[in-house]
Amino acid sequence: MWERTLQDLIRGLRANKKDESKFISQAVDEIRQEIKSKDMELKAAAVLKLTYLNMLGYDMSWASFHVVEVMSSPRIHLKTVGYLAAVQSFQQDTDVLMLTTNLLKKDLSSKPEDVAVTLNGLSHIVTPDLARDLSQDLIAMLNHSRPHIRKRAVLALYKASVKYPEVLSHSMSRLKEKLEDPDPGVVAATVNVLCELAHQNPRDYLALAPQLFYLLTTSSNNWMLIKIIKLFGDLSPYEPRLVKKLQPPITDLITTTPAISLLYECVHTCITGGMLQGASGNALARTCVTKLAGFLQDSDQNLKYIALLAMVKIVPTHPELVAEYQDMIMSSINDQDISIRMRALDLISAMVSRNNLQPMVQQLLSHLVRTDSSTLPSATQSLSRYTGSPSPPAPTLGGSPSQSPAYRLTLSQRILSLGAQDVYENVVDFEWYISVLVDLAYVAGVDVGVEIRDQLVDITGRVRGARRYAVQLMVKLLSDDTFLLNASDAGSCAEVLWAAAWICGEYCGELAEPQKLLPYLLQPRLTAISPDITAVYLQAAMKVFGFWAAELADRWDDDDLPKVKDTVDMVLERTSDFVTHPDIEVQERAANILQLFTFVRADLSSYRPKTDAGFAYGESSNSPVFDGIAPAEPQFPKSLYLIRPLFGSYELNPVAPSAQASVPLPEGLDLSAWIVPPPDVSHVIEEGEEEPADGKHKKSRKGKGKESGKSKGKKRMERTEDERTTLLSGALETEEEKAEKELRRAERLERMRDDPYYLIDDRPSMKPNPVDVDSIPVVRLDDLPPLPQAVDPQLPNLRSSPAPVSFVIDRAGEMPEGAVHPASQPPERDSPSAFENAAPKTTTVPPSLVPQYDLGDEIPRTGSPQPIKVTRAKKKGTGGGKKKRTSKPDTPSSVPQAD
């Protein structure tokens, strides 16, 4: 007599809030006893209690057999409990379901109350087997005398057909009849089911259009009308005549119905069903947009939400209609409701254009600024603000929706994709956009650094006009101690420093005094940031020095000597810290720098002003960098020219998406021949097995096949193409090598499919736009005012030459020489990608060496350049095509070591 009822259990739970788990474990023990009882009432009560506990998260799968026992009770009040427990706890893989087939069959032929309960239960627990075995019974139920049962049978039949589609072929005609059922509830349920079915497979249900159309024009049940309208929205794309037929009744509904949900559904269907085309469609579209705009102004937030949702769909076809309400939409971005903000964001992304990008991005950006300032600070302002102040406050959770990290992330990504859309199609002023990117890096507080980095590098590569400004901003970033200090925080966007270092290194020609940057690039605090960024810093430092030294040499003055010496000493001193860096990549680069600079230092210290008779060797005329100087008597330490050619010989250009495909096959290269004949194992297995070893073998294999026909242009192409190419000196091919080559060719071809390096386009920022960029004509923009240049005496200034004011986006990217242009490419394309620009400088011959370090009397110079090993350093783990493209040959093998 101590059994607890469900009420007792609940009461006990409420009384034992403090020790709930103990109470429940006790209760479950009781249930385990009761559930085995022979008394069905007691068993059912136990199952019911268990079902309640299941809702609170306690397992009841162990009791599934007892649940079936209760289901089989002939008494409806117990059977109901059993079915409820089954519905709540059974999964598709519950084994006892196999036992229920006969039980369900029996229940389906029982009293109407039992049938109702069974049909409801079956719609939840149905499995493919049950559906197959019970389909006949279900179809028979469609003609039950009670409408309540017919309704349930229609829905249960649908659920069965989901698990066992063949049910449908038997029942389709019956289902059609149900559209004319005398009971409106049955008709509504049938429409409901048809709506679900047609959503998956619209073509099969076109035949039902006349009946549905009749219902549409006669029924007044709004629930059903909504479903019918939705159904037609799915059907009409497959039957163009339907559109014409539907236009009048839908227009009628839109103008007359008082039910907003129906109105919205009509508008929605007009949009998705393609009813807005043509002259009559335009009128309808205007009506729709006007109605939606009405919703937008409504005080009911739900209508606002719905209106934004529908407008997103209408924008692609009728942007001009939606644009009329731009202000209203923009104000929705400021709504306190995050749901509405999200929809408005979607809509804004869909309606962005050249004219409105700037204000839109400004407004979005202002949401990210934590100090609720309505006016957006320019990049310069925000930079100076942050450099002076301590670190920006950590993102606080909760509070206004702008503070939620997920929302900030969405917002930041939206800003980035707005700008990058169609290769920066909508960006008019790139200096503005670059400053937006930098601002974003400061205010985002979420992890979008990689995207910002990629865009920065991409833009500076593509838009020559913006480089100067980009370098200026990047110098500020590099010199911002606070940013570096916070770089290890989450959401600090430290990857932007990667871009900053790379851009400053690559385009240091824009700086008047690049050497001032060196202390920033080599500061000891770099050890705190990610190794791949540090590596780029080191590389940039080398580029900057190389550029500066060469510049200095061009107009050499002996007074410069101590300055250079100091700088070299500084570089050596600071670099030596990085030689012991835990990251191998940093270590290697530091070691490279150390060696090169030790050499430079030795040269500098041996340099005697005006006593340089032994310097000049005629061979220096080979190198174009010497062209401007009297070749016989260089009046400067020659090692100053050592570094620049290592980096500056080729210009880095964006690579056209189709470039890789256009690389002509070298003669005699058969990529389909086996390199190693396949072992006995089948082809497919071998492919899978070899996958892990891929990276290891690649290096040695690459490029061998490409030896033939290599030219200077070719080399350049390969480097920008990011081929890891080893150019070997003209070794003779032996027979074995030939055979080996054949085999490797085939293997290589096999690999190319999965090899990320063979991706046609590896620029991440391009990803959102899979459109054919080649077909976009290059746009030249004129008459943009130059931005005022902020002058900071502490930092290296830009050169004084007037800034170019037009932004030319190199959309097409570079193509390999001799490539066949794709047909889509306009032949008159003004390509700044510049084979021409780089062509004159296509030699990688290092400048001649100072005699003291020369081993022989002369370096043998023939027509062909000294063999140079171009080693592509591969950095692991940090993604992005950017990196690949930016890597430089590190050390020419022919440079003798100074020590």
Partner 1 sequence: MIHAVLIFNTSGVPRLTKFYSPLQQSAQTLIQKIFALVSPRPAGLCNFLDAPDLEAFLMPKDGDGKKLRVVYRSYATLFFVFVVDTAESELGILDLIQVFVESLDSAFENVCELDLVFHFDEAHHILAEIIQGGLVLETNVQEIDRAVQEAAKARKESFASANPLSLGGGGAVGSRGAGIQTPLGWLTEKLTGEHRLGAVDEIGGYLGGFTVSHRHAVFLSVSIVYKDHLQYGNSTSYSYWEHIVRCH
The DSSP symbol for 705 reads G
Shortest reach from residue 117's CB to partner 1, in Å: 8
Is the Cβ of residue 407 or residue 469 nearer to partner 1 in the bound state? 407
Burial class (CB in 10 A: 0-12, 13-18, 19+), 262: middle
| Position 249 contacts partner 1 (CB under 8 A) | no
- Which of these segments, 151-159, 511-519, 647-655, 848-856, binds partner 1 (CB under 8 A)? 151-159
Is the Cβ of residue 97 or residue 536 nearer to partner 1 in the bound state? 97
Other CB atoms within 10 A of residue 355 CB: 12
Shortest reach from residue 473's CB to partner 1, in Å: 29
Shortest reach from residue 6's CB to partner 1, in Å: 5
Distance CA 591, CA 573 (A): 12
Distance CA 332, CA 316 (A): 20
Report the Cα 574 to chain-centroid distance in Å.
37
Is the Cβ of residue 82 or residue 449 nearer to partner 1 in the bound state? 82
- Which of these segments, 156-164, 611-619, 686-694, 795-803, binds partner 1 (CB under 8 A)? 156-164
- Which tokens belong to 339? 């749901």
Please give the span between the terminal C-alpha atoms of the chain, in angstroms, as a whole number. Answer: 98
Shortest reach from residue 205's CB to partner 1, in Å: 14
Report the Cα 280 to chain-centroid distance in Å.
40
Which member of 235, 329, 340, 423 binds partner 1 (CB under 8 A)?
Answer: 340
Is the Cβ of residue 258 or residue 856 nearer to partner 1 in the bound state? 258
Is the Cβ of residue 246 or residue 263 nearer to partner 1 in the bound state? 263
Shortest reach from residue 512's CB to partner 1, in Å: 45
Is the Cβ of residue 351 or residue 411 nearer to partner 1 in the bound state? 411
For tokens 């591969």, the residue is 874
Shortest reach from residue 123's CB to partner 1, in Å: 3
Listed residue (381, 377, 432) closest to 807, CA to CA: 432
Binding to partner 1 in span 393-452, by CB under 8 A: 398, 404, 406-407, 409-410
Shortest reach from residue 129's CB to partner 1, in Å: 17
Shortest reach from residue 303's CB to partner 1, in Å: 8
Which member of 261, 282, 334, 595 binds partner 1 (CB under 8 A)?
Answer: 261
Distance CA 800, CA 515 (A): 17
Site string for partner 1, 31-60 (x = CB under 8 A): ----------x--xx--xx-xx--xxx---
- Which tokens belong to 687? 């492919």
- Which tokens belong to 106? 């029996």
| Position 270 contacts partner 1 (CB under 8 A) | no
The DSSP symbol for 339 reads H
566-604: b (≥16 Cβ within 10 Å) or e: ebbeebbebbeebeebebebbbbbbbbbbebbbbbbbbb
Shortest reach from residue 167's CB to partner 1, in Å: 14
Shortest reach from residue 124's CB to partner 1, in Å: 6
Is the Cβ of residue 412 or residue 435 nearer to partner 1 in the bound state? 412
Is the Cβ of residue 89 or residue 765 nearer to partner 1 in the bound state? 89
Distance CA 491, CA 194 (A): 48
- Which tokens belong to 545? 């020095």
Q: Is 232 helix (H, G, I), strand (E, B) or coil?
A: helix
- Which of these segments, 201-209, 253-261, 740-748, 857-865, binds partner 1 (CB under 8 A)? 253-261
Shortest reach from residue 323's CB to partner 1, in Å: 24
| Position 222 contacts partner 1 (CB under 8 A) | yes
- Which of these segments, 260-268, 320-328, 381-389, 671-679, binds partner 1 (CB under 8 A)? 260-268
Distance CA 475, CA 772 (A): 35
Distance CA 716, CA 718 (A): 5
Q: Which residues pair with 814 in a beta bridge?
A: 655
Is the Cβ of residue 123 or residue 891 nearer to partner 1 in the bound state? 123
Shortest reach from residue 307's CB to partner 1, in Å: 11
- Which of these segments, 296-304, 495-503, 844-852, 887-895, binds partner 1 (CB under 8 A)? 296-304
Number of residues this chain uses to bind partner 1 (CB under 8 A): 85
Distance CA 731, CA 728 (A): 7
Binding to partner 1 in span 101-130, by CB under 8 A: 113, 116-117, 119-120, 123-124
Is the Cβ of residue 265 or residue 761 nearer to partner 1 in the bound state? 265
Rounded (to 5) percent helix, strand, coil in the chain: 65, 0, 35
Binding to partner 1 in span 465-524, by CB under 8 A: none
- Which tokens belong to 89? 């706890």
Is the Cβ of residue 306 or residue 850 nearer to partner 1 in the bound state? 306
Is the Cβ of residue 94 or residue 886 nearer to partner 1 in the bound state? 94
- Which tokens belong to 598? 């030790």
Binding to partner 1 in span 62-101, by CB under 8 A: 75-78, 80-81, 84, 87-88, 91-92
Shortest reach from residue 326's CB to partner 1, in Å: 21
Binding to partner 1 in span 362-391, by CB under 8 A: none
Q: Which residues contact 548 (CB under 8 A, 6 or more apart)?
A: 508, 513, 514, 515, 567
Distance CA 362, CA 435 (A): 11
- Which of these segments, 204-212, 340-348, 386-394, 651-659, binds partner 1 (CB under 8 A)? 340-348
State the amino acid at position 433 in one-letter form. Answer: Y
Which member of 115, 138, 168, 188 binds partner 1 (CB under 8 A)?
Answer: 188
Shortest reach from residue 10's CB to partner 1, in Å: 6
Q: Is 674 helix (H, G, I), strand (E, B) or coil?
A: coil
Is the Cβ of residue 58 or residue 674 nearer to partner 1 in the bound state? 58
Listed residue (338, 402, 391) closest to 365, CA to CA: 402
Binding to partner 1 in span 759-818, by CB under 8 A: none
Q: Which residues pair with 809 in a beta bridge?
A: 463
- Residue pair 605/566 in contact (Cβ under 8 Å)? The answer is no
Q: Is 770 helix (H, G, I), strand (E, B) or coil?
A: coil
Listed residue (362, 393, 379, 392) closest to 476, CA to CA: 379
Shortest reach from residue 52's CB to partner 1, in Å: 6
Binding to partner 1 in span 299-338, by CB under 8 A: 300-302, 304-306, 309, 336-338
Is the Cβ of residue 304 or residue 462 nearer to partner 1 in the bound state? 304
- Residue pair 242/236 in contact (Cβ under 8 Å)? The answer is yes
Shortest reach from residue 78's CB to partner 1, in Å: 7
- Residue pair 767/880 in contact (Cβ under 8 Å)? The answer is no
- As a whole number of Å, the CA-based R_g of the chain is 37
Binding to partner 1 in span 820-879, by CB under 8 A: none
- Which of these segments, 261-269, 374-382, 641-649, 654-662, binds partner 1 (CB under 8 A)? 261-269
Q: CA separation (Å) from 275 to 175, 236, 394, 683, 776?
A: 28, 8, 50, 52, 31
Shortest reach from residue 20's CB to partner 1, in Å: 11
